[in-house]
């Protein structure tokens, strides 16, 4: 399997051949350009913070002679806060956008803008959103921190300059003595230790600048980046998978309940009904005991019929035993309308696909009976490649609207969990057609 190209300078740093790539140059340019670029970008912020700077200077000047004037100090403190807090967020917007673009030098991953789009048009809505969303204040914090660290980033220029000076000492000594700290070199032979240190720095500088660039890039990504499309896509996939797992667990629980009722409670009721039937035969029909047993026998048979209907609604046994085509045929037989069924599908499909398709068909036929005023209906199911296509239609009056009830909305949610889609056509006067496509594969 081919090695995945690094997307960040930090990923490229430990790889062999790092110095032969463009990453050291990109990292060096990113790090060394920080001081001049941030000086330009944060200049408006520094102007707004001028009252604070004046206050700091006054504190330094009067540090040994007592406290400065309290009224002036409070005015400067409040004035700086009003300027930075009031106008600072607006000044940071273009600066943060420029920093996100500059981040691409050391990080090829997209740095999404964390700002939202106002729901209402107008300047006031835009300003209100900008001053209330966290992304604006994170950007302000990044640029304020950049102002504080400007001296440190400026000092980084000393590293390549020191390296160049140490390597050039043999040439410089020819023009005169060179001061190397505690040593003053007057001959070329005395400069070789400085050259050796310069060579070490020459080899280490790309790695050091890359580490600094990676740390700065991590800070910029943490404060300037919004939730990008890739992160949202991954999160959406995980949510969809969790919903699918919940649906599978729900279907398994429905089958367990159906099995327990069918094999437990129903069998006991059947045995009780047989016992009541035998007792009914042994008692005179016109006796009070015979009449009571006969009534109990009839009630037991009604309970069995109700229980069978309940079990069938929870999860039809025929769907588990014989698959979707047989279940759709039984559903058509139980419907009070004439229903034509066409099922051109494999004998068995994945259980969650069969269950969803069956209950979509059941809901569609129930709507046709209850709300559509239909005289007939039809159900077609076929496998089209890796998708099951299910169509339910009727000749009723139409006008089906998901906003009028939760039935169609629930079907749409159930289909969406499986990454399927549902299409509804129900004009006034009919006919109504419901088409559902579910991803599946044959077992």
Shared domain check, 139 and 25: yes
In this predicted structure, the answer to whether residue 64 has a pLDDT above a threshold of 60 is no
Asked if residue 235 belongs to a domain, the reply is no
Strands 377-384 and 387-394: antiparallel
pLDDT value of position 1: 36
Asked if residue 334 belongs to a domain, the reply is yes
| This prediction's pTM | 0.51
Which structural domain range is residue 348 located in?
Answer: 318-439
Q: Minimum mean pLDDT among 4-8, 213-217, 259-263: which range?
A: 259-263
In this predicted structure, the answer to whether residue 2 has a pLDDT above a threshold of 50 is no
Shared domain check, 214 and 299: no
When divided into structural domains, the chain yields a total of: 3
Nearest to 220 by CA among 145, 155, 156, 148: 145
Asked if residue 414 belongs to a domain, the reply is yes
Last residue of a domain, one of 199, 225, 251: 225
Last residue of a domain, one of 314, 341, 367: 314
Instruction: Answer whether 157's CB lies under 8 Å from 32's CB.
Output: yes
Residue 435, φ and ψ in degrees, nearest 5: -120, 130
Shared domain check, 367 and 286: no
Q: How far is CA 74 from CA 62, 79, 82, 118, 190, in A?
A: 16, 8, 12, 36, 59
Nearest to 323 by CA among 294, 353, 286: 353
3-state secondary structure of 254: helix
Taking the C-alpha atoms of residue 132 and residue 200, their distance in angstroms, rounded to an integer, is 50
Please report, in angstroms and rounded to a whole number, the separation of the first and last CA atoms in the chain: 31
pLDDT value of position 211: 92
Shared domain check, 257 and 219: no
In this predicted structure, the answer to whether residue 338 has a pLDDT above a threshold of 80 is yes
In this predicted structure, the answer to whether residue 80 has a pLDDT above a threshold of 70 is yes
Asked if residue 258 belongs to a domain, the reply is yes
Instruction: Answer whether 388's CB lies under 8 Å from 353's CB.
Output: yes
3-state secondary structure of 179: strand
Q: Minimum mean pLDDT among 37-46, 230-239, 279-288, 424-433: which range?
A: 230-239
In this predicted structure, the answer to whether residue 205 has a pLDDT above a threshold of 80 is yes
Bridge partners, 184 (sequence order): 179
Q: How far is CA 418 from CA 87, 292, 293, 413, in A?
A: 49, 52, 51, 9
Taking the C-alpha atoms of residue 228 and residue 112, their distance in angstroms, rounded to an integer, is 5
Burial of 52 (0-12, 13-18, 19+ CB in 10 A): middle
- Split at pLDDT 50, 70, 90, the class of 443 is very low
Q: Length of the chain in residues, anyone?
A: 443
pLDDT tens, position by position, 169-179: 777 776 777 66
Bridge partners, 295 (sequence order): none
Count other Cβ atoms within 10 Å, centred on residue 422: 19
Alpha helices in 315-373 (DSSP H): 317-322, 324-334, 351-367
More confident residue, 94 or 302: 94
Give the distance, in angstroms, between the CA of residue 275 and the centroid of all CA atoms in the same chain.
Answer: 60
Shared domain check, 163 and 106: yes
HSE at residue 126, side-chain half, CA atoms within 13 A, is: 5
pLDDT value of position 3: 62
Shared domain check, 123 and 13: yes
Asked if residue 3 belongs to a domain, the reply is no
Asked if residue 237 belongs to a domain, the reply is no
Mean pLDDT of 236-265: 65
Shared domain check, 88 and 67: yes
Shared domain check, 275 and 184: no
Q: What is the 3-state secondary structure (H, E, C) of 140-151?
A: HHHHHHHHHHHH
Last residue of a domain, one of 250, 282, 314: 314
Instruction: Answer whether 368's CB lies under 8 Å from 377's CB.
Output: yes
CATH number, residue 371: 3.30.565.10
Burial of 281 (0-12, 13-18, 19+ CB in 10 A): exposed
Taking the C-alpha atoms of residue 24 and residue 213, their distance in angstroms, rounded to an integer, is 10
DSSP-assigned states of every residue in 13-30: TTSTTGGGSSHHHHHHHH
3-state secondary structure of 107: strand
Shared domain check, 138 and 112: yes
Percent of the chain with pLDDT over 90: 2
Taking the C-alpha atoms of residue 284 and residue 292, their distance in angstroms, rounded to an integer, is 11
Q: Find tokens 């960040």 and name the residue.
A: 8
Shared domain check, 179 and 68: yes
Taking the C-alpha atoms of residue 240 and residue 114, their distance in angstroms, rounded to an integer, is 24
Q: How far is CA 15 from CA 10, 27, 109, 132, 385, in A?
A: 10, 15, 19, 43, 45
pLDDT tens, position by position, 288-318: 877 787 788 778 777 777 666 666 566 677 7
In this predicted structure, the answer to whether residue 124 has a pLDDT above a threshold of 60 is yes
Q: How far is CA 295 from CA 182, 244, 282, 427, in A?
A: 116, 47, 15, 50
In this predicted structure, the answer to whether residue 91 has a pLDDT above a threshold of 50 is yes
Shared domain check, 329 and 310: no
Mean pLDDT of 232-261: 64
Shared domain check, 324 and 289: no
Beta strand segments in 204-338, E? none
pLDDT tens, position by position, 271-283: 777 877 778 777 7
In this predicted structure, the answer to whether residue 232 has a pLDDT above a threshold of 70 is no
Count other Cβ atoms within 10 Å, centred on residue 370: 9
Taking the C-alpha atoms of residue 200 and residue 78, their distance in angstroms, rounded to an integer, is 50
Instruction: Answer whether 43's CB lies under 8 Å from 147's CB.
Output: no
- Split at pLDDT 50, 70, 90, the class of 81 is confident
Taking the C-alpha atoms of residue 315 and residue 307, their distance in angstroms, rounded to an integer, is 12
């Amino acid at each position: 399997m081919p090695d995945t190209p690094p997307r960040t300078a930090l990923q490229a740093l430990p790889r062999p051949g790092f110095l032969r790539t463009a990453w050291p140059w990109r990292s060096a340019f990113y790090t060394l350009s920080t001081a001049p670029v941030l000086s330009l970008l944060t200049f408006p912020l520094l102007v707004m913070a001028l009252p604070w700077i004046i206050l700091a200077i006054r504190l330094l000047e009067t540090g040994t002679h007592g406290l400065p004037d309290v009224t002036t100090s409070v005015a400067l403190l409040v004035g700086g806060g009003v300027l930075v807090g009031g106008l600072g967020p607006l000044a940071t917007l273009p600066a943060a956008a420029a920093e996100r673009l500059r981040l691409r030098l050391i990080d090829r991953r997209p740095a999404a803008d964390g700002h939202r789009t106002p729901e209402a048009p107008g300047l006031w809505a835009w300003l209100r959103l900008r001053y209330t969303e966290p992304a604006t204040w994170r950007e302000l914090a990044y640029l304020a921190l950049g102002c504080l660290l400007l001296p440190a980033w400026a000092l980084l220029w000393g590293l390549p300059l020191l390296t160049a000076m140490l390597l050039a000492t043999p040439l410089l000594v020819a023009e005169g003595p060179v001061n190397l700290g505690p040593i003053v070199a007057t001959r070329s032979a005395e400069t070789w230790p400085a050259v050796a240190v310069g060579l070490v720095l020459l080899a280490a500088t790309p790695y050091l600048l890359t580490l600094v660039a990676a740390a700065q890039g991590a800070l910029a990504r943490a404060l300037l980046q919004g939730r990008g499309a890739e992160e949202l896509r991954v999160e959406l996939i995980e949510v969809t998978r969790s919903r699918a797992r919940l649906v599978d667990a729900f279907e398994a629980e429905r089958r367990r309940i159906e099995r327990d009722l069918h094999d437990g409670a129903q069998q006991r009721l059947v045995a009780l009904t047989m016992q009541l039937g035998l007792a009914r035969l042994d008692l005179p029909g016109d006796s009070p005991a015979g009449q009571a047993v006969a009534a109990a026998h009839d009630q037991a048979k009604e309970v069995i019929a109700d229980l069978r209907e309940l079990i069938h609604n929870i999860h039809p046994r025929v769907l588990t035993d014989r698959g979707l085509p047989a279940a759709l045929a039984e559903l058509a037989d139980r419907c009070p309308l004439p229903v034509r069924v066409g099922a051109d599908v494999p004998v068995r499909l994945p259980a969650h696909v069969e269950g969803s398709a069956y209950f979509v068909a059941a809901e569609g036929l129930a709507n046709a009976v209850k709300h559509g005023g239909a005289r007939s209906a039809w159900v077609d199911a076929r496998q089209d490649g890796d998708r099951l296509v299910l169509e339910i239609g009727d000749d009723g009056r139409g006008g089906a609207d998901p906003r009028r009830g939760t039935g169609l909305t629930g079907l749409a949610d159930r289909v969406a969990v499986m990454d399927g889609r549902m299409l509804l056509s129900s004009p006034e006067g009919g006919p109504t057609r419901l088409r559902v496509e579910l991803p599946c594969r044959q077992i």
